[in-house]
Amino acid sequence: MATKLSPKQYVERAERLSGGHRLCAGCGAGIIVRQLLMGAKDNPVVVSNATGCLEVSTTIYPYTAWKDSFIHSAFENAAATISGVEAAYKSLERQGRVDSDKPYKFLSIAGDGGSYDIGLQAISGALERGHDIVVACYDNGAYMNTGFQRSAATPRGAWTTTSPNGKVSIGKTQPRKNLTAIAVAHGIPYVAQASPHNFRDLIAKAETAFETPGPAFLNILSPCPRGWRSADEMGMALAKMMVESCWWPLYEVVDGEYKISYDPKNRKIPIRDWMKQQGRFKHLFTPANEEFLDELQVDCDREWERLKQLAALSTPADKPVAE
24 touches 86 (CB < 8 A): no
> Quick one: 296 exposed, middle or buried, by C-beta within 10 A (0-12, 13-18, 19+)?
buried
Among the listed residues 15, 128, 290, 294, the single contact to another protein using CB under 8 A: 128
Q: Where in 10-69 is the site for another protein (CB under 8 A)?
A: 44, 46, 48, 55-56, 59-64, 66-69
Among the listed residues 98, 170, 184, 234, the single contact to another protein using CB under 8 A: 98
Q: Which residues pair with 219 in a beta bridge?
A: 137, 193
Integer Cα distance of 247 and 275 in angstroms: 11
First to last CA, the chain: 16
Among the listed residues 10, 125, 236, 264, the single contact to another protein using CB under 8 A: 125
Which range in 6-14, 117-125, 195-203, 274-282 contacts another protein by CB under 8 A? 117-125
Q: Toward another protein, which CB reaches closer, 117 or 263?
A: 117
Q: Toward another protein, which CB reaches closer, 88 or 298?
A: 88
| Concatenated DSSP letters of 70-122 | EE---SS-HHHHHHHHHHHHHHHHHTT----SS--EEEEEEESIIIIITTHHH
Binding of another protein at residue 198 (CB under 8 A)? no
Q: Toward another protein, which CB reaches closer, 81 or 289?
A: 81
Integer Cα distance of 105 and 100 in angstroms: 12
Binding of another protein at residue 95 (CB under 8 A)? yes
Question: β-pairing, 45-49 with 69-71?
Answer: parallel
Q: How many residues bind another protein (CB under 8 A)?
A: 51
Q: How far is the CB of 176 from another protein (least distance, A)?
A: 24
Q: Where in 72-91 is the site for another protein (CB under 8 A)?
A: 72-74, 76-77, 80-91
Q: Where in 222-261 is the site for another protein (CB under 8 A)?
A: none
Integer Cα distance of 171 and 160 in angstroms: 7
188 touches 22 (CB < 8 A): no
Residue 107's nearest CA partner among 133, 78, 83 is 133
Q: How far is the CB of 162 from another protein (least distance, A)?
A: 22
Q: How far is the CB of 145 from another protein (least distance, A)?
A: 11
Among the listed residues 33, 38, 122, 307, the single contact to another protein using CB under 8 A: 122
Q: How far is the CB of 35 from another protein (least distance, A)?
A: 19
Q: Where in 267-306 is the site for another protein (CB under 8 A)?
A: none
Integer Cα distance of 59 and 56 in angstroms: 6
> Quick one: 19 exposed, middle or buried, by C-beta within 10 A (0-12, 13-18, 19+)?
exposed
Among the listed residues 14, 102, 232, 295, the single contact to another protein using CB under 8 A: 102
Binding site for another protein (CB under 8 A): 44, 46, 48, 55-56, 59-64, 66-74, 76-77, 80-92, 94-95, 97-102, 104, 121-122, 124-126, 128-129
